[in-house]
Structure 1
Amino acid sequence: MKDLTERIRATFLYAGIDVTDTPLFTGVRGQQLAARASLIDTGALPLRHGTREPFRELAAAMDNALDLDQHRPGTLPRLAGYLHARTGGRIGSLSRLVRQAAITTILDGTQRITRAVLEDIDLDYLAEEQYRPSPHSPARKATARQ
């Protein structure tokens, strides 16, 4: 990769999980590449960022892409706060939730996504643990005290 970056006039983006611990950035050549790279640690999409609402914007884009006969436009952006809490702001979890809700409503004939439909869908472990923490987790205890 180092040789390629020296020969081609282009910007290279390397994406992955724990890339700093992979052969890409370790060893002699990896260290040379690491010296030329900037690490951008990405996390969940925020509900709000300054005056913008990136998560609501994403929910609106997904809402606009739905092709369900009885779907009420604007439902997903109106549920942005709930959707963010439910998915932890993770785009993959949101995509899975909306996709499964759409499939569910197609199969049951309602063709309309509602919060009740969304609540009945099980998500990935991380999203479920964050949204519905176990009785012994600190998040559940803090919620119970409020």
Structure 2
Amino acid sequence: MDAARTAPKSVTPAALAARWPPLDPELLTVREGFMDFVHRKLEPPDLQDCAPKGTKVTDTDPRMIYHGEMIPVSTPDVTQGLKDARRTLRTNRFRPTGKRMNMIIDGCAGKTTLLLQIGRAYQGVLETERRPDDEWTPVVYINVPPRHESNMDWSLPFADFFGMDHTINIDKRTYRSTDMTEPVVHAMRESRTSLILIDGVDRIHDSGLATAFDYFDCLQARLRVSVIYSGRGATDIVNERLHNRRRTERPRTSEQFRSSLPVMRISPIPLHAGQEGGWRSVLQRYDDNLRLYNHKPGALLDLEEELHARTGGYMDSLDQLICQTAQQAIEDQSEAITQEALDDMIVGRNDPDNNWD
């Protein structure tokens, strides 16, 4: 279930650079990009294989590239979410009839990270049972575009994932798309797709809510697939679909009706008395993964209060702040993350009197 897979340690700087290419998130919405994401070999570079201390480097230096992303750090919520998803998906695999249990990811920033790590871990489990080939596509990842108002429209992101051409040339100047549902269903059936990840369900407009979920239901009626919905307020959005309710009619308390689907929730990591363990474990992982010549083990833990004050416990802000400061430390050759270096960054909250929503 490891989300990050290790690579051999005997690598050259050139090989390190090739191993950490900048990743365009949009590429995850096509099969080749998602497969590259699943199979990437992630390991911190060995300082002995990098440019010597004091060497002026460019933005494409292996350490610069590495600290732009670093190895994904699992928070307590992500760890629990991976366990919950593993249990549900394992049961779903062996159900010969009936609709498979779907799941929801809701909460603050970090939902996409959990969604993608579930897809990567699930495919990793399946690859222990069979060798991947050019056709096999167990996981499909869809990021909801801004507007989809018909079944024809909803077939297009799936067609794009499989690299299908869905445009018709009209007078050699204008193009229109055609319904790709049948080719998509055929492709997913032939490639043995069993998990669909739908990110950003909060971008589905009220007017298109019923159409969108009807389309997802249609796919499940024709294929043996599980679906994971992710987005801000995803629990209420799915509830409203199941209960034929519009978001504008949502009751003030969402506890008045709950989806029967399991919900994996991402929350900010606290730093309250007696609850410091989660935050410190996250910082420890970042601390272990840093590759700076002057870094002293435990330095990030010494800055735990500052880092929490700056980020509010939100992983997206923490990750950006640490990665950005580490890259700056390489550029200015200080080679360490310090209070002064953090103060120089605009990431996160700089005014301690402000409160996070």
TM-score of the alignment, normalized to the shorter chain, above 0.5: yes
Q: Which residue of 1 aligns with 2:277?
A: 53
Paired residues of 1:69 and 1:111 also in contact (CA < 8 A): yes
Q: Which residue of 1 aligns with 2:307?
A: 83
* Mapped pair 1:113 → 2:337: yes
Measure the CA separation in 1 of the matches of 2:236 and 2:243: 14
Paired residues of 2:329 and 2:337 also in contact (CA < 8 A): yes
Measure the CA separation in 2 of the matches of 1:96 and 1:113: 13
**1:67–1:56: structure 2 CA closer, same or farther, 3 Å change rule?**
same
Q: Which residue of 2 aligns with 1:15?
A: 230
Instruction: Note the residue ranges of structure 1 that are not aligned, 5 or more in a row.
Output: 134-138, 140-146
Deviation (angstroms), 1:17: 0.8
Deviation (angstroms), 1:43: 2.3
* Mapped pair 1:69 → 2:257: no
Bigger proportion of residues as strand:
2
* Structure 1 runs, 4 residues or longer, greater than 6 Å off: none
Measure the CA separation in 1 of the matches of 2:261 and 2:319: 30
Output the TM-score relative to the length of structure 1.
0.69
Quote the RMSD (CA, aligned, Å).
3.1
Q: Which residue of 2 aligns with 1:123?
A: 347
* Mapped pair 1:31 → 2:242: yes
Paired residues of 1:44 and 1:88 also in contact (CA < 8 A): yes
Measure the CA separation in 1 of the matches of 2:322 and 2:259: 41
How many residues are matched? 126
3-state DSSP of counterpart to 1:92: helix
Bigger proportion of residues as helix:
1
**1:15–1:128: structure 2 CA closer, same or farther, 3 Å change rule?**
farther
Match of 1:95 among 296, 310, 319: 319
Paired residues of 1:2 and 1:32 also in contact (CA < 8 A): no
Deviation (angstroms), 1:15: 2.2
Q: Which residue of 2 aligns with 1:136?
A: none
Paired residues of 2:235 and 2:259 also in contact (CA < 8 A): no
3-state DSSP of counterpart to 1:123: coil
3-state DSSP of counterpart to 2:326: helix
Measure the CA separation in 1 of the matches of 2:329 and 2:297: 15
Measure the CA separation in 2 of the matches of 1:132 and 1:102: 26
3-state DSSP of counterpart to 2:270: coil
Deviation (angstroms), 1:71: 0.8
